[in-house]
Chain A
Amino acid sequence: KQEVTQIPAALSVPEGENLVLNCSFTDSAIYNLQWFRQDPGKGLTSLLLIQSSQREQTSGRLNASLDKSSGRSTLYIAASQPGDSATYLCAVDGTYKYIFGTGTRLKVLA
């Protein structure tokens, strides 16, 4: 059974720092991995999708990498801003369905 773990569970950093969020999964037989952002009381917004044949994806200040063999993905946020404060979730897709981690709650202090 696929299990997805995100560490740390919570993170507080000063504005301007570069930071890394981690996601690990137990079964490397995945098709895709997706990173999401969730603001309090809101739905999930897709940030980046990495297909199994890819090693990384970039969007603006965000960069996500995928290492299937080690069962890990990282989300790199450059020059963090208070507006980046949210919960970040990763999800891996095996067969027809995505399994989610419990998320990293990020707070960027002004």
Chain B
Amino acid sequence: NAGVTQTPKFQVLKTGQSMTLQCAQDMNHNSMYWYRQDPGMGLRLIYYSASEGTTDKGEVPNGYNVSRLNKREFSLRLESAAPSQTSVYFCASSSVSAGELFFGEGSRLTVL
């Protein structure tokens, strides 16, 4: 089993460019999440999807949009990247909203 797969693993953008981070899980989980991790700040929730067809804002949603494409896939889009969005992004999933979390390996994004 692949678990949670994120693409790309590394990306460098210029300020103002857009991009989409892709996430897919093969565990038939209902809930999916996007976190960002910054030094000294820990992991902060950007958006989550408690079930297919629903999405909600987390702690730091500004500058991001998400799409729950189907049960397996949850994408994160940066419409106009800013240097403050330089971070490591993690996708996670759980069978239910209060269930055990499983993480992808992360996507390291640098915005110049």
Interface centre among B33, B58, B100, B104 (most CB of A within 10 A): B100
- Give chain A nearest CB distance to B25 CB in angstroms: 13
Question: With A and B bound together, what is the CA distance between A45 and B3 in angstroms?
Answer: 12
Number of interface residues of A (CB under 8 A): 22
- Give chain B nearest CB distance to A100 CB in angstroms: 4
Chain A residues 59 to 101 lying within 8 A of chain B, measured CB to CB, are 89, 91, 93, 95-101
Chain B residue contacts of A98, Cβ below 8 A? 33, 45, 101
Question: With A and B bound together, what is the CA distance between A26 and B77 in angstroms?
Answer: 32
Are A46 and B106 in contact (CB-based, < 8 A)? no
Contact residues of A with B, CB < 8 Å?
A: 31-32, 34, 36, 42-46, 49, 89, 91, 93, 95-103
Contact residues of B with A, CB < 8 Å?
A: 31, 33, 35, 40-45, 48, 50, 56, 58, 90, 92, 97-106
